[in-house]
Structure 1
Amino acid sequence: MKKLTLLGLGLLLFISCKEEEKETLVSTTIDESIKGKFEVDSTSSITWIGSKQTGKHSGTIKIKFGEFSVDAGKITEGKFVIDMNTIHVNDLEGEDKAKLEAHLKGDRDDVEDHFFNVKRYPEASFEVLTFTNENGVDMLEGNLTIKNKINKVKFPVSLEKVDDVITLTSPEFKINRTLWGVNYGSKSIFDDLGDKFIDDDIVLQLNIKEKK
């Protein structure tokens, strides 16, 4: 009987631990005090990292304007317009910096597929579709439009209120640029690049602040 009692206690503890683990996995990070419609501040930006065989470069792109609505800590709708003419390189200076920025924007009229071709496509945009909590992580899904091509993207986000300012941020996440026709230097598109290719994945990170 004593052995059965100990076995029962052990089983009860095991079940309790499993229930606690399950509860932890689905815990929410939502701050339900956040509510309202918020206009995006002009200091909001997207950080980017692009890589190739010989290294990588990083920089920012500014959010031109946008707004998002929050109800009980959940993003219900929103749209952000990205100014592609503000592509900025952080890790270079002088002539090298200017050359790479012009290259990314598309400095050759005779090449249609020259990175982002901002003369023809000066803006990109992101429109919110859903906001969910998955295993304790808030996830934002929406339509990302670049070069007039639309694809869904989904990534983790944090929505915080600090000193009465609402901030929407994300950890780093990746998108495959070729899905938007940004094919320059892609070995998945071109066969003759050798080791002079540029990775298809671009790393992005959001830093969006409410306009005061």
Structure 2
Amino acid sequence: MKNLKTIALALVTLVTVSVSAQTTKKVNVQKSKVEWLGKKVTGKHNGTIDLKEGALVFKKKKLVGGTFVVDMTSINTTDLTGDYKGKLDGHLKSDDFFGVEKFPTATLVFKTLTDKGNNTSTVTADLTIKGKTNPITFDITINGNSATTKLIVDRAKYDIKYGSGSFFDNLGDKTIYDEFELDVTLNF
């Protein structure tokens, strides 16, 4: 009888530990994709940027956390070629925009998640760009071993002033909009 109680207690402990355990799934950065889109009065540009590392945290099958590091030195314009591409890539990496020499990475750390159903959660996270951290809210959808999301980032919150109507008057058709989009597909 004593052995039966010991076995039952061990089973209850094992089930409790497995139910409460969290699983961290490392993101496959080679198979994941981050595409950016920036707009200005006279048009737009788009491109890619690489994840350096990332992970999503699950409790059972529910998403409960995540952390990501973006390689800012990998900014790549995909809608231009030749000299124009080189000039824009260089300008985006310069201190006018992301200052990648001094700030080679950006980070995103999930803080709170709210389940919306249908494998979608609303995430509030801390986004750090150029050493400045601000909260950002977005929805993320999990589908098997992948996740998709779209982030709208206000560059003015990160002191990225170049061509911004929030910092300069009378820019006219030289104005670059403060918000840029990130379309993200994560594979893990």
Deviation at 1:135, TM superposition (A): 7.4
Query: What are the within-5 Å matches in structure 2 for residues 35-50 of structure 1?
Result: 36-43=23-30, 44-50=32-38
Contact 2:68 2:108 in 1 (8 A): yes
Root-mean-square deviation (Å): 1.6
Query: What are the within-5 Å matches in structure 2 for residues 47-196 of structure 1?
Result: 47-106=35-94, 112=95, 114-134=96-116, 137-161=120-144, 166-170=145-149, 172-196=150-174
Distance 2:29 2:129 in 1: 20
Distance 1:65 1:37 in 2: 13
Deviation at 1:76, TM superposition (A): 1.7
Which amino acid is the alignment partner of residue 50 of structure 1?
G
Taking structure 1 as reference, are residues 173 and 127 closer, same or farther at Cα in structure 2, changes over 3 Å only?
closer
Distance 2:36 2:148 in 1: 14
TM-score (norm 2): 0.82
Q: Which protein is richer in strand relative to its size?
A: 2
Between the two proteins, what is the percent identity of the paired residues?
36
Quick check: which has more Rg, 1 or 2?
1
Partner of 1:207: 185
Which amino acid is the alignment partner of residue 146 of structure 2?
T
Which amino acid is the alignment partner of residue 84 of structure 1?
M
Deviation at 1:61, TM superposition (A): 0.8
